[in-house]
Chains A and B, each alone.
Chain A
Amino acid sequence: GAVVSQHPSWVICKSGTSVKIECRSLDFQATTMFWYRQFPKQSLMLMATSNEGSKATYEQGVEKDKFLINHASLTLSTLTVTSAHPEDSSFYICSARDASSLAKNIQYFGAGTRLSVL
């Protein structure tokens, strides 16, 4: 299956600093990428959807100035958590949708990034 690489897998940072998470589709072009957040024992909550070359669409309640998303190419999207605080500590997962499999709408997921803000 298609591979989505997410980096870093774990990051610990001090409160007030910014953290960038990268998501790459390795063997396919992803016109659309998604960023999710997962709280313990909860489902995946969609934060935002990004299409290559355009601004991301954020879900209700997600601060776009807090979670900056850039989808500059068909294989790379980045999520930057700005001025991180302890309440931002969570598991962040990206996924990418293969442009050639729209009919199946299969999303391929990265391995996730555990963010711990001290």
Chain B
Amino acid sequence: DQQVKQNSPSLSVQEGRISILNCDYTNSMFDYFLWYKKYPAEGPTFLISISSIKDKNEDGRFTVFLNKSAKHLSLHIVPSQPGDSAVYFCAARAGGSQGNLIFGKGTKLSVKP
């Protein structure tokens, strides 16, 4: 049973436009959400996170939105740049600070010049 779902395996966006990556989850006990970026043959790099008590967190070109009632979060990248092309993983945590992260399958973002 997949608790964290990224239903779009890939997304293609034009440079300068907005990229919106979506993530849905089923476990209402998740209290912290993170986005990681991963280039081929490299480990994931932490991008941005959000606590369940918030509905938005912004860091430069990256903004994460959380809709708890819909159990949905999204990552917005604006403006998108070719260097943003990577696989983006959504992760969620339950069980407080000692809880493990549950990852989605990832969405491959391609930003075209």
Residues of A within 8 A of B (CB): 1, 4, 6, 9, 34, 41-44, 46, 49, 91, 93-95, 102-112, 114
Mask: chain B, 36-64; 1 = CB below 8 Å from A; 0 = not: 10000111111001000000000000000
Chain B interface residues toward A at CB < 8 A: 9, 32, 34, 36, 41-46, 49, 89, 93, 97-101, 103-106
- A107 touches which of B41, B42, B101, B105 (Cβ 8 Å): B101
Whose C-beta in chain A lies nearest to the C-beta of B2?
Answer: A43
Partner of A108, one of B42, B46, B49, B100: B46
B93 to chain A: closest CB distance in Å?
Answer: 5
Given contacts A43-B89, A102-B97, A114-B41, contact A107 B46 (CB under 8 A): yes
Q: What residue of chain A has the Cβ atom nearest to residue B102's Cβ?
A: A46
Rounded to whole angstroms, the CA-CA distance of A105 and B50 in the bound complex is 11
